[in-house]
């Protein structure tokens, strides 16, 4: 089955293909139990799931950052832009256009916003002029960062740090950004502002996105397609519009079930009722 999946998609239309991967931490902790997903070239795809479902692990498997966590892909394979990622270092992947923006918006707190952005260009060899040009491009998408360019990143707001983290990723001229929980800890209005910028970057710069989010509501409004991950398995996937209308998604992830609002943390009820588990 894995072989069939590996050859079923046209690499011209598909920028990322994850084929039935298993991930183990510390040689024994099985976290991903056969995850498959794909992202169309120029698409925005959401990877949804509760805390601990395996979203970050999936993104790190793709960007080849698991080794630093004592994690390993033990089955399956991942193809980015026509080539297997397993034999490429994280830096090589960045050069080839695949970059991850870490959860928790990691910035260098002691550097200015602008210097943080410039660190994103470290894999480039096309000279200062091109890099300055792209810096200006980042500022057109994130005008707030231009205002704050000389501020020490550690003293900027959570929203500005998330923008800095995305802007820094843009400085590597990515074809695809793996964006890990951009909404985390941010006020709703700021979340909306950041997703609007993601949408513009997708439409105007052609950047493909894989968005890992617990915030199902906002992610399904901006993504075209979504996958729902639970305990290391994809339990449901579909067009975002269809997922938004799915009764289980409404009940357990959007909190708007027919019988009133209900949290998906109500585990007992969740396991008993959920159609995709029966
Ligand atoms: N470095 C690690 N070593 C061992 N277990 C880990 C490690 N990182 C994550 N895990 C475990 O893997 C599971 C999935 O975690 P994670 O991928 O971070 O989920 P999510 O991003 O969806 O919250 C969790 O049970 C978590 O405790
Ligand atoms: Mg995570």
User: From atom 26 of ligand 1, which residue's Cα is the shortest distance away?
Assistant: 52
**pLDDT of the chain, 278 residues: tens digit per residue:** 444 444 556 667 999 999 999 999 999 999 999 999 999 999 999 999 999 999 999 999 999 999 999 999 999 999 999 999 998 999 999 999 999 999 987 889 999 999 999 999 988 888 999 999 999 999 999 999 999 999 999 999 999 999 999 999 999 999 999 999 999 999 999 999 999 999 999 999 999 999 999 999 999 999 999 999 999 999 999 999 999 999 888 888 887 544 444 445 554 455 555 666 64
The set of protein residues with a Cβ atom below 6 angstroms from ligand 1 is 25-26, 29, 31, 49, 51-57, 69-71
Cβ atoms 59, 212 nearer than 8 A? yes
Other C-beta atoms within 10 Å of 195: how many? 22
Cβ atoms 101, 108 nearer than 8 A? no
**What structural domains and CATH numbers belong to the chain?**
4-97+174-276 (3.40.50.300), 106-168 (no CATH)
Quote the ligand 2 centre to 132 CA distance (angstroms): 32
User: From atom 27 of ligand 1, which residue's Cα is the shortest distance away?
Assistant: 52
Q: What is the pLDDT of residue 263?
A: 47
| Beta-bridge partner residues of 79 | 17, 84
User: From atom 18 of ligand 1, which residue's Cα is the shortest distance away?
Assistant: 56
Looking at the CA of 69, name the nearest ligand: 1
**Which of 37, 56, 65, 180 to mutate to test ligand 1, by most ligand atoms within 8 A of the CB atom?**
56
Cβ atoms 210, 40 nearer than 8 A? no
Quote the ligand 1 centre to 267 CA distance (angstroms): 19
Between the CA atoms of 270, 274, 277 and 278, what dihedral angle is there, to the nearest 10 degrees?
120
Looking at the CA of 52, name the nearest ligand: 1
Q: Which atom of ligand 1 is nearest to the CA of 69?
A: 1
Question: What pTM, to 2 d.p., does this model score?
Answer: 0.90
Quote the ligand 2 centre to 67 CA distance (angstroms): 16
**Which of 37, 47, 54, 100 to mutate to test ligand 1, by most ligand atoms within 8 A of the CB atom?**
54
Angle (CA) 116-122-128 rounded to 5° is 90
Residues with Cβ within 5 Å of ion ligand 2?
55-56, 103
**273: CB partners within 8 A, 6+ apart:** 251
| Beta-bridge partner residues of 48 | 213, 228
Cβ atoms 167, 101 nearer than 8 A? no
**3: CB partners within 8 A, 6+ apart:** none
Quote the ligand 1 centre to 246 CA distance (angstroms): 27
Quote the ligand 2 centre to 42 CA distance (angstroms): 24
């Amino acid at each position: 089955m894995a072989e069939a999946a590996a050859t079923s998609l046209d690499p011209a239309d598909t920028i990322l293909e994850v084929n039935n991967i298993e991930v183990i931490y510390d040689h024994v902790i099985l976290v991903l139990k056969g995850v498959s997903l794909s992202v169309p070239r120029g698409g925005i795809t959401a990877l949804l799931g509760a805390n601990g479902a395996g979203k970050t692990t999936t993104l790190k498997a793709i960007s080849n950052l698991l080794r630093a966590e004592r994690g390993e892909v033990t089955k399956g394979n991942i193809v980015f832009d026509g080539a297997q990622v397993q034999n490429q270092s994280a830096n090589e992947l960045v050069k080839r256009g695949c970059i991850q923006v870490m959860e928790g918006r990691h910035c260098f707190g002691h550097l200015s916003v602008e210097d943080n952005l410039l660190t994103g260009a470290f894999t480039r060899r096309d000279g200062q002029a091109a890099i300055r040009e792209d810096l200006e491009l980042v500022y057109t998408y994130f005008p707030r960062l231009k205002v704050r360019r000389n501020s020490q990143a550690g003293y900027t707001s959570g929203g500005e740090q998330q923008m800095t983290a995305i802007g820094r990723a843009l400085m590597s001229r990515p074809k695809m950004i793996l964006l890990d929980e951009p909404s985390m800890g941010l006020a709703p209005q700021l979340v909306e502002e950041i997703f609007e910028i993601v949408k513009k970057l997708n439409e105007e710069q052609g950047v493909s996105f894989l968005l890992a989010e617990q915030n199902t509501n906002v992610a399904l409004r901006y993504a075209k397609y979504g996958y729902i991950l639970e305990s290391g398995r994809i339990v449901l996937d579909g067009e975002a519009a269809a997922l938004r209308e799915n009764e289980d998604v409404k009940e357990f992830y959007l909190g708007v079930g027919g019988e009133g609002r209900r949290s998906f943390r109500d585990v007992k009820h969740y396991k008993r009722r959920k159609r995709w588990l029966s």
